[in-house]
Structure 1
Amino acid sequence: MSTRHHLTAVALTLATLGSLTACSGSDDEPSIVVTTNILGDVVHSLVGDHAAVTVLMKPNSDPHSFGISAKEAGAMEDADLIIGNGLGLEEGLSANLDNARSEGVRVLEVGEHIDPLEYASGGSAGAPDPHFWTDPARMVAAVDVITSALGEEIGDDLAEAIEPSAASYRRQLEDLDADIEEIAEAIPAENRKLVTNHHVFGYFANRFDFEVIGAVLPSGTTLASPSAADLEELARTVEDAGVPTIFADSSQPQKLAEALSDEVDLDVEVTPLFSESLTEADGEAGTYIDMQRTNAQAIADGLVPR
């Protein structure tokens, strides 16, 4: 064989091997990036092993303030689909999301598609409330939005493959909704009054007939700061309503809630809730469904008369 023919054969062999590697490697696996660990758990429950899912927000983090690495930012720009909460929740990711969009990546902001509520009071009054996951019924709608986007962006094959898991997960969410409704109904109507670390339970209150009478941070974000006058006003509200428990987010320091408790001339407890982040997998809120059940029971324990 001539030198020229030998080189041609080698080139063809290398090209064939390269083609086989591209077809058999992970490049063909759909890549989905999810911003929050709550939605990450939902997406994992839907797609299983049918796609590679990267969740940016670590357990026990604050969705309003967490950041990401350069590698994770690159994964966003290479993704087939980014699934985010939206409605201003991921305050630290806005530039990364804009960069991904500029690279042609679709960003699905789920909150925009589930009939969002507005904050009723506080510094965020009138703005869309991003904390829709506290209402399990809206999470059923979120599953429909996500599965539709997966079909549109990745293909009908994936949509068909995950249809059984999507149907199963919807049923689990419907059962969760019914369970929480039963837990809520055990709380006398006059006791369904919530004081929280910040305005995070508006959807829960709307779904299960609670009243949010105030928040230690008078805003929809944990990045806000209360004034002495805010704390004084809330202390009087708590006293007038006779609220026995203040609920603080588990991922945030409870100093402000405890300071408010000290201001109130009543025996007021401070109870942590897993309101904005999942725990590690083996924790009390390792999944979205576990988180919701744990929170509902903690709210009932804090508000049912002893």
Structure 2
Amino acid sequence: MQGIRRTALAAAAAIATFVGLIGCAAGPADRPLVVVSTNILGDVVGQLAGDQVEVLTLMKPNADPHSFEISAREAARMRAADLLVSNGLGLEEGLQKHLDAAADEGVRTFVAGDAIDVLDYAEGDAAGTADPHFWTDPARMRAVVDALEPALAAIDGIDGARLHAATEGYRGRLASLDEEMTTAFEAIPAAQRALITNHHVFGYLADRFGFAVVGAAIPGGTTLAAPSASDLAELVSAIETSGVRTIFAESSSPDRLVRALADEADLHVDVVELYTESLTDRGGEAPDYLTMMRVNTERIARGLSP
């Protein structure tokens, strides 16, 4: 009987320990939910909040932020989020109705575009409207991080000290990135700092680092627009006038138009792929924001240097 009793007590103790461990281990259901529209911002939120929250990033790797769609389940989770983080400034065109619906139902929101000094498009079909591609300037991304910290700190259950330490560390990494980009771009002669890409995505980078945006194959702020024959003819003329030898195709957009321009200009023009609007998956070349910016910096500097 004593042996049976000892076995029973041991079993009961094991079960109690197991139950206790389950209670102590915080699974996704036990953590606050932060839903993020784009994968660039999803990476930043994860860097700041770490495992204190569940981060649901709606935009898949290698997607186009202007046109990606979400499932009904993801839309429902948006409306149940503790915080909804979006880019704003018209970027999430295919997602806007869901963002508006969640906000109307009382979900607390953070719009990154509200935290920065916004530039307008200077030319093309979108001239005079807000440019949403602020992340190409790491200084503006620091402004987003500064505003995002208190928004995350306001979530119930967040350890503010842990959040602050992680945020300070990320600010330092952004400052290092900014210095690296400044050094790399200063090595390019001013006359050769000319950018052409699929659509107007480099306004903030140009403003920050002294580039000229010569033009874009799609002359608007969205990949959903289409160029006319006259648009392409004007861009070919700009390529020939500026003497540009490298044009850039975005990883999230087809580069057929850019390659067609290179052929039509009757010049030797290299087409270089950049990761401007979407991160890759973990096995790709741009799995996080900082890496994406370093890859782009190296390719732009190499493509435009003598």
Question: Residues of 1 paired with 2:160 and 2:117: CA distance?
Answer: 24
Question: Residues of 1 paired with 2:65 and 2:138: CA distance?
Answer: 19
Normalization by structure 1: what TM-score? 0.90
Q: Which residue of 1 aligns with 2:240?
A: 239
Cα distance, 1:265 vs structure 2: 2.6
> What is the number of equivalent residue pairs in this alignment?
285
Give runs of aligned pairs for residues 116-127 of structure 1, distance below 5 A. Answer: 116-127=118-129
Q: Which residue of 2 aligns with 1:171?
A: 172
Contact 1:34 1:82 in 2 (8 A): yes
The reply on whether 1:262 has 2:290 as its aligned counterpart is: no
Q: Which residue of 1 aligns with 2:67?
A: 65
Cα distance, 1:28 vs structure 2: 4.3
Contact 1:274 1:291 in 2 (8 A): yes
Question: Residues of 2 paired with 1:141 and 1:158: CA distance?
Answer: 22
Q: Which residue of 2 aligns with 1:10?
A: none
Identity %: 54
Which of the residues 30, 50, 53 maps onto 1:51?
Answer: 53
Query: Deviation digits for residues 155-207 of structure 1, max 9, x if unmatched?
Result: 48433321111000000000000001111011111100111110000000111
Cα distance, 1:102 vs structure 2: 1.9
Q: 1:211 to 1:26 in 2, by over 3 A?
A: closer
Which of the residues 98, 101, 108 maps onto 2:100?
Answer: 98
Give runs of aligned pairs for residues 66-215 of structure 1, distance below 5 A. Answer: 66-152=68-154, 154-155=155-156, 157-215=158-216
Q: Which residue of 2 aligns with 1:284?
A: 285
SS in 2 for 1:194: strand
RMSD: 1.7
Question: Residues of 1 paired with 2:282 and 2:171: CA distance?
Answer: 21
Query: Deviation digits for residues 221-256 of structure 1, max 9, x if unmatched?
Result: 000000011000110011000000111111111110
Q: Which residue of 2 aligns with 1:15?
A: none
SS in 1 for 2:126: coil
Question: Residues of 1 paired with 2:98 and 2:267: CA distance?
Answer: 46
Question: Residues of 2 paired with 1:239 and 1:209: CA distance?
Answer: 21
Contact 1:151 1:158 in 2 (8 A): yes
Contact 1:133 1:139 in 2 (8 A): yes
Question: Residues of 2 paired with 1:40 and 1:103: CA distance?
Answer: 22
SS in 2 for 1:187: coil
Query: Deviation digits for residues 66-111 of structure 1, max 9, x if unmatched?
Result: 0001111011000000000000000011111111112210221101
The reply on whether 1:30 has 2:32 as its aligned counterpart is: yes
Question: Residues of 2 paired with 1:86 and 1:26: CA distance?
Answer: 27
The one-letter code of the counterpart of 2:238 is T
The reply on whether 1:41 has 2:43 as its aligned counterpart is: yes
Contact 1:246 1:257 in 2 (8 A): yes
Contact 1:147 1:159 in 2 (8 A): no
SS in 2 for 1:78: coil
Cα distance, 1:25 vs structure 2: 6.8
Contact 2:35 2:58 in 1 (8 A): yes
Runs of 5+ unmatched residues, structure 2: 1-21
Question: Residues of 2 paired with 1:53 and 1:284: CA distance?
Answer: 22
SS in 2 for 1:58: coil
Q: Which residue of 1 aligns with 2:7?
A: none
Q: 1:80 to 1:122 in 2, by over 3 A?
A: same
The reply on whether 1:227 has 2:228 as its aligned counterpart is: yes
The reply on whether 1:294 has 2:292 as its aligned counterpart is: no
The one-letter code of the counterpart of 1:276 is E
Question: Residues of 1 paired with 2:27 and 2:299: CA distance?
Answer: 47
Question: Residues of 1 paired with 2:67 and 2:82: CA distance?
Answer: 25
Contact 1:50 1:161 in 2 (8 A): no
Question: Residues of 2 paired with 1:186 and 1:52: CA distance?
Answer: 42
Q: Which 10-residue stretch deviates more, 59-68 or 247-256?
A: 247-256
The one-letter code of the counterpart of 1:210 is F
The one-letter code of the counterpart of 2:140 is R
